[in-house]
């Protein structure tokens, strides 16, 4: 039985396709937390069994999703609150705090607006690795300071290389404790666009993302923990047909390769990439 | 009887909604010309009566549509051929050749990818008006040389002014013989995207274009002949639902304000804006 | 006697060329105010006589210059303070407060980094004219609200038109009470770069600015008060030769058309254009 | 005896500082070839001894410099000729032709106009490595086809990593036969700007380039042959003082960190990066 024929990168949406069914999905634990004042909802999905992973179509691990309807608004103060909430989610996934060497990779094509989220986010990060190596930890902020490096590897059509090859090479040379990858995602519903951010400790799977990465970027493949931060910026055109008619039977073939995006996607990607980079800056450099 | 509930800026698509009906639309003349070798189709629609205008939902006048499936490909030589064909269409609409003062306006928002077609096209034009005024016609190319000026007026959210106010002011000051406006359009079908260019001597109507211009830009409103060149770069999301199920009854409300675009829209707009500006350069500065 | 052979757009620098001379310049009044805590210096130059104007090489009128060495730093809080100080200077030049219709023009070439200051500043303005016309003053903020419109006219090489022609046309159509022009300037010394902003009620003179505007933009020429806000972003290469050797005798000819800019000019123009647009937003929309 | 106090990345300029001296520099061989019709001059400097290297301040190896005064003009046909000449120079340095795996790295900061030459050049390359790996050599162009990959590593302030670390990692993973690095250079004279391209098989030395790379990128350091292609886009401000007065004695300290560039540097970098990428495309994919 195929419950979902339309691709989604969100665990939240994968789970929704089971809604209304009588039984819970085995080995999948879901918790919701709603901050009414700020209108931010955090959903924690934990896939704990192979069976749950199979049914969800997502690997075992933890998925935190932050939903905030106001995320698409240009209110700077509200974005600061989202960044803070996102920073907490990230720290929760990272576990016990200690000084880390973190490599942040902005995936996607910087020349394709809805795919440029990751590259733009990396461009606003506080980068410290080179300063610590040059001047010492004391000069930069003390023993507890995190050493952050960043890379924008580009996409295969631009580089001729798998993103995984480039990251593996950089990891081998610089030996970070943790890799964070930021990527634009495809959602199944336009309701998710520009208002949902997903964090997961399962990394990136082949076929995910706006740009459809082919190699996996996971702890297993890269040999270092990988946290993926993703935000849906597009819906594939097929998905809205499916939504409207409950199937893709009358899907016109010329819709292949078509994206649905909000009209203001250029502005949204500019703003939300900043919100994400601020979250990382808050998580790694808390003002004590 | 509503035959079309989904907006289109193309006369070609307006007419297609009557296809299969037994009678011709009164006062609407259609001619097709197909260049097999280059795979370029030119369709001439002439709306000659008020009744035809009403049924088509388009004002009386001439509409030339150039369709070329290969337009989305990056082949430079093919684009040169499209530019030449487009130049012929433009000269056909302009009528008797003589030295003109032409103001070219690139409509739309340069910061929104699918709306940036017009601004980008103007940035590649050969601009001569200031040279002729400074050095004389002889220095620039002889008596027959055209004086070209260009403007990118921006959109109302950026300027607080109607595009028509800005153009009227500039026209009053500089008194061109002809205004050409270049604009990104909304089509009804994704099959039109990035492969169709429409030229019309009816100018721009309120509500048209990706950015939804409010004032009309026509010979009547501006007091000078206006030729509009448009290329569809988006389809409204509602339109693909309509296409798939034949109605918009189950149209989800959150699809409002959503666009369907090809994945490579950034690259396409860059290339096709150049193809359009080259067509104008060929039309105005033929290598004799 | 030629005291200055190197062009400057700053009244402050024009005056400095007289320093050390025994007599004051007749009809030129200079006042300095220094805010030690914030390290911001405001200099008011008032040229009150034709003779003073001739000696200074600047038209009669008021010139306020704000100097802040920290302006090139990326500290957001400090930039907020500069924006507030700049807003006060602007209000001082504007005179008695009342609800105004203001057209803000961002001069210069947006595709040439050091000349893009004006275009970038306009892109961050709060634009209200269209909202007031559509929804009424009450909806936007009450009777006292200012109606702001903005335009980026481009430069003559792009448009074939004088900036003055375009602005005159737009002014005739939209009838603002005040025009504010924002422009990148050429300074004589690199010490002025990215740390000096000049405001004047004399508008823009022919030959000024990075892009060398040819027509004047003044109350006399446009028929409406004009305030010019300028920031030096370049020094002509000739000027630093002059500075070093006290003359331009051994000026190599290939230095013509060469600019001196700081290495981080792209970043600086991005940031300072924002600081200027924030100043206008504060001046026109005070949080009461 | 210090003959040169102002930095240059050009072997040609290093040599010129000896001009007028009676003796040749030992172990430095210079040949000039001038194509009068196309007004392109190619100078070959070969540094063959340690003593020559020391006197020149450049490592032993071959340096080809292509000078074309028309390079700054926008004539497309002329740029094609320059690309072809540059392709020949590149093939000359590469030696015996055979199918290669080549990694092309675009050094510099894409957000700083005069430093963006390399990143922009890489964005126009024909990238084939991934196609060959996916579809085989036969599908892409036969046994002799070159496998090209490209990377834009960013600068240390953006990444926290040395460019050499990133390249070493990518080289270890993808094992190219040859690395080509493209970089914007600093010249000593504005006469070299936008009209000179240098190719060398000595790679990149610490301290070179507009962005001042710290690690060396050479055959010795990376373990694979490295060809560097560089074009001067800036002159340090100190250099023009030196040129004018023959010393830097009266060098004002505030000139540190100042660049001299032509006014049209944005346009020039756009065009010349394309000329360079076309040269690589011609060299690697000759139309037979």
Among candidate residues C54, C58, C182, the one with its CA nearest the CA of residue C110: C182
Q: Which residue of B has its CA nearest to C125?
A: B158
CA atoms of C165 and C157, how far apart (whole Å): 14
Residues D185-216 as b or e (16 or more Cβ within 10 Å = b): bbbbbbbbbbbbbbbbbbbbbeebbbbebebb
N-terminal to C-terminal alpha carbon distance within chain C: 53
Q: Verify whether the Cβ–Cβ distance C160 to B172 is below 8 Å.
A: no
Q: Average pLDDT, stretch D1-6?
A: 40
For residue D254, the Cα-to-chain-centroid distance in whole angstroms is: 29
Show the CA angle centred on residue D209, arms to residues A173 and C273, nearest 5°. Answer: 100
pLDDT in tens, B11-26: 877 777 665 544 567 8
In this predicted structure, what is the pLDDT of residue B1? 29
Residue C264 CB neighbour total at 10 angstroms: 18
Contact residues, chain B, for A245 at CB < 8 Å: 244-245, 250
CA atoms of C39 and C33, how far apart (whole Å): 11
pLDDT higher for D170 or B237?
A: D170
Q: Average pLDDT, stretch A160-169?
A: 97
In this predicted structure, what is the pLDDT of residue D196? 94
Listed range (B157-166, B260-269, C253-262) with the worst mean pLDDT: C253-262
Q: Average pLDDT, stretch D71-94?
A: 90
pLDDT at A8 over 90: no
Provide the mean pLDDT of chain A.
88
Predicted confidence band of residue B82 (pLDDT cuts 50, 70, 90): very high
pLDDT at A175 over 90: yes
Task: Please report the number of interchain residue pairs, chain C to chain D, with beta-carbon separation below 8 angstroms.
Answer: 91
pLDDT in tens, D129-151: 999 999 999 988 888 899 999 99
Predicted confidence band of residue D4 (pLDDT cuts 50, 70, 90): very low
Among candidate residues A150, C242, B153, A95, the one with its CA nearest the CA of residue D250: C242
pLDDT higher for B141 or A221?
A: A221
| H helix intervals, chain A | 11-16, 50-56, 76-94, 117-123, 129-135, 137-140, 156-159, 163-174, 219-222, 237-245, 265-284
Contact residues, chain D, for C192 at CB < 8 Å: none
pLDDT in tens, C130-144: 999 999 999 888 888
For chain C, the helix, strand and coil percentages under 3-state DSSP, each to the nearest 5:
40, 25, 40
CA atoms of A137 and A100, how far apart (whole Å): 12
Q: Which two tokens stand for residue B225?
A: 């002949």
Provide the mean pLDDT of chain B.
88
Q: Verify whether the Cβ–Cβ distance C111 to B128 is below 8 Å.
A: no
In this predicted structure, what is the pLDDT of residue A77? 83
Predicted confidence band of residue B99 (pLDDT cuts 50, 70, 90): confident
pLDDT at D65 over 80: yes
Residue A253 near residue A238 (C-beta atoms within 8 A): no
Q: Average pLDDT, stretch B132-159?
A: 93
Percent of chain C beyond pLDDT 90?
61
pLDDT in tens, C181-229: 999 998 888 888 889 999 999 999 877 777 767 789 999 999 999 999 9
Listed range (A274-283, B63-72, C260-269, D4-13) with the worst mean pLDDT: D4-13
Q: Verify whether the Cβ–Cβ distance B165 to C174 is below 8 Å.
A: yes
In this predicted structure, what is the pLDDT of residue C19? 57
Predicted confidence band of residue A6 (pLDDT cuts 50, 70, 90): low
Listed range (A87-101, C16-30, C256-270) with the worst mean pLDDT: C16-30
Residue C180 near residue C102 (C-beta atoms within 8 A): yes
In this predicted structure, what is the pLDDT of residue D248? 61
Q: Which residue of C has its CA nearest to D251?
A: C244
Q: Which two tokens stand for residue A106?
A: 């902005």
Contact residues, chain A, for D160 at CB < 8 Å: 127-131, 147-150
Q: Average pLDDT, stretch B252-257?
A: 76
pLDDT at D107 over 50: yes
Predicted confidence band of residue D3 (pLDDT cuts 50, 70, 90): very low
Q: Which residue of A has its CA nearest to D172?
A: A169
Q: Average pLDDT, stretch C159-164?
A: 96
Predicted confidence band of residue A1 (pLDDT cuts 50, 70, 90): very low
Report the residue from C149, C153, C156 with minimal CB separation from B130: C156
pLDDT at A5 over 50: no
Most confident residue range from D10-14, D52-56, D239-243: D52-56
D:113-132 residues touching chain A, CB 8 A cutoff: 122-123, 127-131
Percent of chain B beyond pLDDT 90?
60
pLDDT in tens, B36-58: 999 999 999 999 999 989 888 88
Residue among B157, B240, B253 with most chain A CBs within 10 A, to mutate: B240
CA atoms of B27 and C109, how far apart (whole Å): 48
pLDDT higher for A59 or D75?
A: A59
Chains in contact with C, where contact requires at least 3 CB pairs less than 8 Å apart: B, D
In this predicted structure, what is the pLDDT of residue C25? 75
Dihedral sign, CA of A67, A68, A73, A74? negative
pTM for the whole structure: 0.90
Counting CB pairs under 8 A, whether chains C and D reach 3 or more, is yes
Predicted confidence band of residue A22 (pLDDT cuts 50, 70, 90): very low
For chain A, the helix, strand and coil percentages under 3-state DSSP, each to the nearest 5:
40, 25, 40
Task: Please report the number of interchain residue pairs, chain A to chain D, with beta-carbon separation below 8 angstroms.
Answer: 102
Three-state SS string across C179-222, please? EEEEEEEEECCHHHCCCEEEEECCCECCCCCCCCCCCCECHHHH
pLDDT at B201 over 80: yes
Q: Verify whether the Cβ–Cβ distance B161 to C130 is below 8 Å.
A: yes
């Amino acid at each position: 039985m195929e419950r979902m024929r339309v691709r989604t990168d969100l665990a939240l949406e994968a789970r929704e396709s089971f809604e209304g069914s009588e039984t819970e999905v085995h080995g999948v634990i879901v918790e919701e937390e709603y901050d009414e004042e700020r209108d931010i909802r955090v959903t924690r999905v934990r896939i704990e069994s192979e069976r749950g992973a199979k049914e969800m179509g997502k690997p075992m691990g933890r998925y935190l999703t932050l939903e905030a309807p106001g995320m698409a608004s240009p209110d700077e103060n509200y974005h600061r609150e989202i960044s803070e909430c996102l920073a907490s989610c990230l720290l929760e996934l990272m576990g016990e705090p200690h000084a880390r060497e973190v490599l942040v990779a902005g995936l996607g094509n910087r020349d394709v607006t809805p795919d440029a989220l990751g590259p733009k986010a990396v461009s606003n990060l506080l980068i410290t690795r080179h300063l610590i190596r040059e001047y010492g930890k004391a000069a930069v902020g003390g023993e507890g300071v995190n050493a952050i490096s960043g890379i924008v590897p580009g996409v295969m059509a631009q580089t001729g290389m798998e993103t995984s090859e480039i990251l593996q090479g950089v990891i081998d040379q610089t030996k970070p404790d943790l890799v964070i990858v930021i990527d634009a995602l495809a959602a199944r519903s336009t309701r998710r666009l520009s208002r949902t951010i997903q964090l997961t400790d399962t990394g990136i799977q082949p076929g995910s993302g706006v740009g459809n990465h082919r190699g996996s970027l996971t702890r297993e493949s890269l040999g270092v923990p990988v946290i993926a931060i993703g935000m849906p910026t597009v819906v594939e055109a097929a998905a809205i047909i499916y939504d409207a008619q409950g199937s893709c039977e009358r899907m016109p073939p010329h819709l292949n390769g078509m994206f649905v995006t909000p009209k203001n996607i250029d502005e949204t990607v500019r703003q939300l990439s900043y919100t994400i980079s601020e979250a990382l800056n808050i998580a790694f450099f808390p003002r004590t």
